[in-house]
Structure 1
């Protein structure tokens, strides 16, 4: 332990630029700091600092030693700060964004549950199907779905998500069920905000361009059109599972279902993740799968 005290005294002298300033930071006397540094130099059998009445200066050996020691004490400070943050209660404002339908149905109730546990926290929710820029637009967290693009953001997987190609029984009385992706060309495909559907062929991602006589940038509108037999639609599980269970809709091409389309919490990279973000993301990861099964 004495060795760490000596190294800490040396690092603090270099950081603060003087023995007296280091002593104030360490809450000991300047003579004690000077003695610790002297003991360190004796143990290493080398001079680390040039001392004058006005200033201190690193020797070449001291500069090398400082370069190796300084990150250690920064790490200690980071560890203490992280622990303090871990034990802290969420506070301030939590700003988050999510796609509209998924956010309203699943995320908002969990956000409300989280705030009931932490009434001191202020929450701002923004639902939009546009992919926002978290840093430029000032959001702490985004809930995103599907395959993520590479970025500098941190992403945590919250739960699974599956896309289904579905049609109504009425529709399949008029058109044969497709068994290959090529057969989609013969169907009236209900087009959403993108005119391509995502599949997996031989373990590889494949996008298939689709077309039809109907298009809308709304999931609920797509679902209603599929229920009424207007064509095939590709929709996430949270839209269609109830209809698949009841038999209102029928899934096709399940052998080509793309697997890697999870729900993610995405947030900017920080050395210390704030308590509000860390605890909120933990809460979502613990409760979102159950929420999607029961709501």
Structure 2
């Protein structure tokens, strides 16, 4: 209610005519006149003197006009700023990713992104804990595997494979397992879980394993496997280079679980900001 009639009054004060003001605002002359009359009633003052030929602003109207003009200018500036934000990538993005994947893949791409878009500021927090995107104020999370939160939007960036592998030295000394039951006879190097996942008859099955090492570091486990200490199950971004070079040998391939998705997950929002859309596009274009 407080804003009703303000734009109409400013237009009449500037145009000097109800008809011209109505044309400028694309309203009827009667509607402009009615809105200003209601505004004067709310204020309890006369803003305009009307005759059949002229419209003159009162002293009170002149004071009110100066303040209203400043307010409308401020609103226009605010609208322009918002539209500008929507037209090009700028502002802050807060995201999270798992530690190793973030270090090896996501952070290098962010470095390239902020170089190309200097008006964007990125804050990245790497953790293997599953954070609450909404509660902790993240714009984006990089998630691997099955997505459980149906309230989020998601875009697939890539996929990963999990490999069971060991060095040739280990295999030469202890042999290679050919069935899942044979893992009980091997030194299986553990991460944070007590089991490994396999595909058995098109269904996923968890097999409990044990060994002489437990690290919460995939990099550390890969290095232990390279030294012939035991067998590991790790995602391909830990092992790809070593598998390609032959330093590690894949094992139990018939039981390898299907590839898992790597996702950009973000809160539902009807209007995605340009900065977030362009960053996700950048990930999609550059992640294998």
- Asked whether the 8 Å contact 2:86–2:273 carries over to 1, the reply is no
- Asked whether the 8 Å contact 1:196–1:210 carries over to 2, the reply is yes
1:51-66 residue pairs with structure 2 within 5 A? none
1:38: which partner in 2?
none
1:273-292 residue pairs with structure 2 within 5 A? 273-289=272-288
Q: How many angstroms does 1:251 deviate by?
A: 0.5
Query: Distance between the aligned counterparts of 1:31 and 1:20, measured in 2?
Result: 13
2:26: which partner in 1?
28
Aligned-residue CA RMSD (Å): 2.7
Query: Distance between the aligned counterparts of 2:122 and 2:129, measured in 1?
Result: 20
1:212: which partner in 2?
211
Compared with structure 1, are the counterparts of its residues 201 and 156 closer, same or farther at alpha carbon in structure 2 (3 Å cutoff)? Answer: same
Query: Distance between the aligned counterparts of 2:228 and 2:27, measured in 1?
Result: 83
Compared with structure 1, are the counterparts of its residues 194 and 27 closer, same or farther at alpha carbon in structure 2 (3 Å cutoff)? Answer: farther
**109-118 or 178-187: bigger deviation:** 178-187
Query: Distance between the aligned counterparts of 1:132 and 1:103, measured in 2?
Result: 15
Q: Which structure has the bigger radius of gyration?
A: 2
Matched, 1:168 2:193: no
Query: Distance between the aligned counterparts of 1:156 and 1:198, measured in 2?
Result: 25
1:224: which partner in 2?
223
1:102-141 residue pairs with structure 2 within 5 A? 102-141=101-140
- Asked whether the 8 Å contact 2:186–2:211 carries over to 1, the reply is yes
Compared with structure 1, are the counterparts of its residues 220 and 30 closer, same or farther at alpha carbon in structure 2 (3 Å cutoff)? Answer: same
SS in 2 for 1:240: helix
- Asked whether the 8 Å contact 1:20–1:30 carries over to 2, the reply is no
1:69-80 residue pairs with structure 2 within 5 A? none
Query: Distance between the aligned counterparts of 1:206 and 1:86, measured in 2?
Result: 49
Q: Deviations over 1:30-85 (max 9, x none)?
A: 4688xxxxxxxxxxxxxxxxxxxxxxxxxxxxxxxxxxxxxxxxxxxxxxxxxx79
- Asked whether the 8 Å contact 1:85–1:274 carries over to 2, the reply is no
Query: Distance between the aligned counterparts of 2:266 and 2:194, measured in 1?
Result: 29
Q: How many angstroms does 1:140 deviate by?
A: 0.8
SS in 1 for 2:258: coil
**275-284 or 179-188: bigger deviation:** 179-188
1:197: which partner in 2?
196
SS in 1 for 2:160: coil
Compared with structure 1, are the counterparts of its residues 29 and 266 closer, same or farther at alpha carbon in structure 2 (3 Å cutoff)? Answer: same
Provide the aligned length of Structure 1 versus Structure 2.
224
- Asked whether the 8 Å contact 2:189–2:211 carries over to 1, the reply is yes
Query: Distance between the aligned counterparts of 1:30 and 1:180, measured in 2?
Result: 84
Q: How many angstroms does 1:243 deviate by?
A: 0.9
Which ranges of structure 1 fall in alignment gaps of 5 or more residues? 1-15, 34-83, 290-295
Query: Distance between the aligned counterparts of 2:100 and 2:185, measured in 1?
Result: 30
1:93: which partner in 2?
92
- Asked whether the 8 Å contact 1:85–1:275 carries over to 2, the reply is no
1:226-241 residue pairs with structure 2 within 5 A? 226-241=225-240
- Asked whether the 8 Å contact 1:189–1:233 carries over to 2, the reply is yes
